[in-house]
Amino acid sequence: MTSNASRRQQAATNRSGVSPDGASSETGTMWQMRGSDGSIAMGWYLLPLRLFLGVTFLFAGLQKLANPDFFRASSPISIHAQIVGAAHTSPIGGLIGHLTGAASVIGAIVAIGEVAIGVGALLGLLTRVAAIGGLLVSFSLFLVISFHASPYFTGSDIVFFFAWMPVALAGAAGAPALDTWLAARSATGTVSGSDSNEGAMSRGAVIGLVAGGTALLVAVVAGLGRAFAPSSSKSAATTTTTSTTGAPTTTTTGGTPGTTTATTAAPPKGTSIGPAADVPVGGSASFSDPKTGDPSLVIQSKADTFVAFDAICPHAGCTVAYQANANVITCPCHGSEFNAKTGAVTVGPATTGLTPIKIIKGANGNLYVV
């Protein structure tokens, strides 16, 4: 009969790869899938999920850092545009609306946080901490961006939230990871009677080395992104208009030779959003809908032909942009596409089209929302 203490000691040996006498166990290293009792450590079952989450978050963070448009407030794919859109759709929109002034800082925190979480998950260093960070980021993005995704499972953030949960509960759990390696070193030092501070210092040194390498990676990717990025966001082909108050236009009509008669063209009933000249032919411009405050989009497909839509994607609340080269409106978050003439959805996951906004050009050259 084997006592409980013996079984616990054997289990610890299998996890750490260290035998009670301090020698390495032939069947208990972190690279050995099966322990001496034939069991497989839980971490091996979670390893594919852990690696997938790590790669995904690392890529997501580096992608943001390498794209200057993510931090450029005038870009429709920027963190600023996403916060503005989320302020009108998120259940915590009242709180989010006050954060637009710090959008770039928030974007940097999110991007660097995703990189750190991805590195931690991939290397298996502070695995539980990285997974808890992944839980928080995923749940935050769910509340801010994909809360209204319909059906709910088309929004990836809620899926990532639950995917991180088993990793947060189990950690590395005996699978190949720096946490497993460091635990084995610590166990070896304890069994052999060496100074425990040496193990603690080694762990701190590894964490510092990985943190330094991660910081260097962040700096290099961000620098390369800005060095090779175009000077302005051409892919969206957008310009920003500012709301102005339309002034009456004075014209002249024929009368007695040598004299002119001044007449005034009354502006249309509605709210001016700016000069029509600010919208390039074949391009678009962004504005705020005076009725709802939502970010919106006006397109001039050909001279003096204007259409406008609410720019909040009905799928998850991201701000859409007009792609002039393809003549289509696209969502930068999940790839939905919309007809540039009608706003109808042409490619999912969005299930409904963009809300049209009635817009006309006044005789004074301004555009009006009516």
pLDDT at 60: 95
Q: To the nearest whole percent, how much of the chain has pLDDT over 90?
A: 38
pLDDT at 357: 93
Residue 168: is its pLDDT beyond 50?
Answer: yes
Q: Is the torsion defined by CA of 224, 229, 231, 236 positive or negative?
A: negative
What are 368's two structure tokens?
A: 């009006």
Q: 310-356, pLDDT tens digit by residue?
A: 988 887 777 888 988 888 999 877 788 999 999 999 988 888 899 99
pLDDT at 295: 84
Residue 113: is its pLDDT beyond 90?
Answer: yes
Domain boundaries, the chain: 25-228, 238-248+264-369
The CATH number of the domain covering residues in 238-248+264-369: 2.102.10.10
What is the DSSP secondary-structure string of 257-301?
Answer: TT--EEEEEPPPSSEEEEEGGGS-TTEEEEEE-TTT--EEEEEEE
pTM: 0.68
Q: 179-191, pLDDT tens digit by residue?
A: 999 988 887 765 5
| Tokens 């009608």 -> residue | 342
pLDDT at 31: 83
8-44 core/surface letters (b: 16 or more CB in 10 A; e: else): eebeebbbbbbbeeeeebeebbbebeebeeeeebbbb
Q: 205-235, pLDDT tens digit by residue?
A: 999 999 999 999 999 999 999 888 765 544 4
Contact 303, 297 (CB under 8 A): no
The amino acid at residue 33 is: M
Q: Is the torsion defined by CA of 343, 309, 291, 369 positive or negative?
A: negative
CA distance 35 to 15: 8
Residue 242: is its pLDDT beyond 80?
Answer: no
Q: 129-153, pLDDT tens digit by residue?
A: 999 999 999 999 999 888 877 778 8
